Structure 1
Amino acid sequence: MDYLERANAVLSRIQELACISEDAHCVTRTFGSSAFLSGCGKVLSWMQEAGLQARIDNIGNVRGRWPSKEPNAHTLVIASHIDTVKNAGKFDGPLGVTMALDLISHLQREEISLPFNIELIAFSDEEGVRFHTTYLGSATVTGHFDTRLLDKTDSAGITLRDAITAIGGNIDALAADAIPAEEWLGYYEIHIEQGPVLYDQNLPVAVVQGIAGQQRIRVRFHGSSGHAGTVPMEMRKDALCAAAEFVLAVERIGLQYADNLVATVGLLEVANAASNVIPGEVTCSLDIRSTDKVLLKKVRRSLKDVASQICAERQLTADWDIVQKIKPVECDTALNHLLAQSITAAGYNVKELVSGAGHDAVVVAAVAPVCMLFVRCYKGISHHPEEHVDAADIAVAIQVSDHFIHRLTAVYKTQ
């Protein structure tokens, strides 16, 4: 079977998984939903067909293990996720899972003797849509699951604890699902770029240098509600005007540090909104990302000062709550070197990129060396139904991955 044939087989599985959704009109598969469970069952059946030691663990990760015949062998984890955002594309996550299945099946047909175990994992909750808890799956596998999250609730008031139980998980056994740190060899993930660089530069794949750190803040402006027709303009304490001024400040400061930072306000909530009411309370999100942790801290503090200044000038107050802080991650130099060699061996120029989006590799990097291969996607579109990857680019990624595993095997056998 040539690379394009293998790519088309991968595409077929991606399409099959995309048909499993909470919404008949688009792809939505959030943690713990019936569609999520059906998707897990589908991936589990594929792993079983491939002859892997397959199971679904207590957090809902689908895991397939191909053990080495070598005693005390370490484990290479090849993984991505199968949960999605709402109204998602087909490729974000499932591309990496289905390509890993193809890679392992091909290695088995070659009857290659691996000096390490391979564990394929379809992570259960990378997007964090339901409970706003990104990386539940990888946190469990790395032994970093935070039990304080168990009491978090979704929009229906269901706790994470109850959701885990509902999918058949055992809260008390989560720790046992971790791969001990001393057993890890490394981590490899294939993922769409989710950006336009490869598309614009007409390149099929790239090596990921690192993953940007993230800081998420919830900012709530408190003013005074009032009748839109009776309160004079100079007497108003309009929380929405304060939020609007803050949004523009976020854009301005983001542009100031655009070489290594992005800043976004993606959510505005006006409490008790009505066309004839002056907004008295407005909540907005703030998302800051950079590979420079010092810059992240600097910009966060600058924007907090801006919010305070806006409030002082408008006689308002603001709450500033840090929701999430994730440090930047550097991918492993040795693994990236092998990945770059593999791209060259496949006949393509090596491009290095930084990921502005978060990935499970962020969590895994705390216990093991990580590397990632980006694959070109149409116009860089992601988290949207127009998300697309051509079979030709998948074929290149398959070829590169084949080279990568063979190179890693050769290096490991000499150690």
Structure 2
Amino acid sequence: MQEYHARAARLLQRIHELAAISEDADGVTRTFGTPAFLRGSALVRAWMEAAGLQTRIDSIGNVRGRLLNPRPGAKTFVIGSHIDTVVNAGRFDGPLGVLLGLDLLEHLGEKQAELPFHFELMAFSDEEGVRFHTTYLGSKVAAGSFDQALLPRTDAAGISLAEAIATMGGDAGQLAADALPADQWLGYFEAHIEQGPVLWERNIPVALVTAIAGQRRVGLTFTGMAGHAGTVPMDMRQDALAGCAEFVLAVEQFGLDHKAHLVATVGKLDMRHSASNVISGEATCSLDLRSADAARLAAAYDELHRQAEAIAQRRGLTVAWNPIQQTAPVACDAEMNKLLAQAIAEAGHPVVELVSGAGHDAVPISAVAPATMLFVRCYKGISHNPLENAEQPDIAAALEVSERFLLQLLTKEKLSS
């Protein structure tokens, strides 16, 4: 175990070095395509090259490093996560999985001649979707599922995704060619901080991810009649903000009533032409629904849509319901999970099974490859926050488990080839 602690210390040093590259001086912000993002990508690529990997940066900005097997027709096993961040982020969400994968391949590289398949480490360029309000840009390109209709989409400065790709040195016309063909995937592994409190509270370093929750995101606009706060009687108002507020509380109550199966969140609330002495004429809010059960997710979506319409009708408002994103729940691969569970147990840890409420690059990749994920304990489950932290003993445990998993996979493939 001492070896893994030393490797974890080096991994942490790299995480801190990468975190020092940011768009602002006060936190970690490294969004897709920015100068800070490009500097971070260059650093990760340099580390990959120093480890002996064959590297390239594809047209969407994924940093990719391959450890090749000389056998013709060999398939590729991919280890990946992302290196973009939210605004004012933590250090570990994404980079932990990339740099853990780099450590694994550095040590497997010594056994390159014995590998029965290729390895590819992918540092995905955009998982968070901050700049263009998309998710999984990098992993969708790798999986061959990128939507070309996204290219004209613009950021807050009016720069299109196609223009951003060109500025990064990519070619939007080559995105399809950057996919790893479906018949060449052997599997996918991603390590990630839990982003939840279960492992922290139970003082367990790692967990097996069994599924990733599906998501439905909606934007709602309640429209009423703006008026003077001092002259319109309370019972004659068409207050858009009050309708929006009632919906926020309805979403919270619905989530509490169904907490065993889903979560429901309103994370954004805005008013148009707001002032302290004006009755709100227009208010917008978001809705984020997540569940690992597709049927329950669909039913929740329909029920909250019905409740929004009922609130609007009762208050003399109109409501526009605008779907933004829909992602189906994903089950991790049973065979891969069996190997990973065995690795956890052999390393001396209880096999804790968790469903991920957060999205991960494993979602689009699972459409083309059997995918498995390992959660790593993080401080109080805090994520998307500068307080985000994973401790060295837990990273050491994750390294040991991950290496055991890969060695089991190598043995299995050698026996079957």
After TM superposition, the score normalised by the length of structure 1 is 0.99
Q: Distance in 2 between matches of 1:333 and 1:60?
A: 31
Aligned residue number for residue 201 of structure 1: 202
Structure 2 matches for 1:333-372, cutoff 5 A? 333-372=334-373
Structure 2 matches for 1:179-218, cutoff 5 A? 179-218=180-219
Q: Cα offset for 1:108?
A: 1.8
In the alignment of these two chains, the number of paired residues is: 415
Q: Distance in 2 between matches of 1:255 and 1:12?
A: 41
Aligned residue number for residue 6 of structure 1: 7
Aligned residue number for residue 58 of structure 2: 57
Q: Cα offset for 1:406?
A: 0.5
Aligned amino acid, residue 24 of structure 2: D
Gaps of 5+ in 2: none
Residue 106 of structure 2 is aligned to residue 105 of structure 1? yes
Structure 2 matches for 1:14-413, cutoff 5 A? 14-110=15-111, 113-413=114-414
Q: Distance in 2 between matches of 1:274 and 1:89?
A: 35
Q: Distance in 1 between matches of 2:40 and 2:112?
A: 29
Runs of 4+ in structure 1 over 4 Å off: none
Preserved CA contact (<8 Å) 2:67 2:109: no
Deviations 1:76-120 (A, max 9, x none): 000000000000000000000111110000112355611010000
Q: Distance in 2 between matches of 1:398 and 1:236?
A: 60
Deviations 1:218-248 (A, max 9, x none): 1100011111112111111000000010011
RMSD after superposition = 0.8
User: Secondary structure of the equivalent of 1:119?
Assistant: strand
Aligned amino acid, residue 123 of structure 2: A
Preserved CA contact (<8 Å) 2:15 2:92: yes
Q: Distance in 1 between matches of 2:67 and 2:196?
A: 33
Calculate percent identity across the aligned residue pairs: 58
Deviations 1:3-30 (A, max 9, x none): 1000000000000000000010000000
Deviations 1:124-175 (A, max 9, x none): 0000000011000000001111000011111111111111111011011111
Q: Distance in 1 between matches of 2:6 and 2:208?
A: 24
Q: Distance in 2 between matches of 1:114 and 1:190?
A: 21
Aligned amino acid, residue 25 of structure 1: D
User: Secondary structure of the equivalent of 1:374?
Assistant: strand
Moved more, 324-333 or 62-71: 62-71
Aligned amino acid, residue 250 of structure 1: V
Q: Distance in 2 between matches of 1:4 and 1:204?
A: 13
Deviations 1:322-343 (A, max 9, x none): 1000000000000000000001
Preserved CA contact (<8 Å) 2:67 2:112: no
Q: Distance in 2 between matches of 1:48 and 1:9?
A: 17
Aligned amino acid, residue 325 of structure 2: Q
User: Secondary structure of the equivalent of 1:324?
Assistant: strand
Aligned amino acid, residue 353 of structure 2: E
Q: Distance in 1 between matches of 2:277 and 2:168?
A: 46
Aligned amino acid, residue 184 of structure 2: E
Moved more, 226-235 or 397-406: 226-235
Q: Distance in 1 between matches of 2:166 and 2:227?
A: 46
Q: Distance in 2 between matches of 1:272 and 1:194?
A: 36
Q: Distance in 1 between matches of 2:101 and 2:306?
A: 47
Q: Distance in 2 between matches of 1:83 and 1:410?
A: 34
User: Secondary structure of the equivalent of 1:2?
Assistant: helix
Aligned amino acid, residue 70 of structure 2: K
Taking structure 1 as reference, are residues 18 and 349 closer, same or farther at Cα in structure 2, changes over 3 Å only?
same
Q: Distance in 1 between matches of 2:282 and 2:158?
A: 24
Aligned amino acid, residue 202 of structure 1: N
Deviations 1:229-279 (A, max 9, x none): 121111110000000100111011111111010000000011111111111
Q: Distance in 2 between matches of 1:100 and 1:212?
A: 24
Q: Distance in 2 between matches of 1:110 and 1:66?
A: 10
Aligned amino acid, residue 229 of structure 1: G
Q: Distance in 2 between matches of 1:396 and 1:13?
A: 18
Q: Distance in 1 between matches of 2:40 and 2:289?
A: 32
Aligned amino acid, residue 333 of structure 2: D
Q: Cα offset for 1:372?
A: 0.3
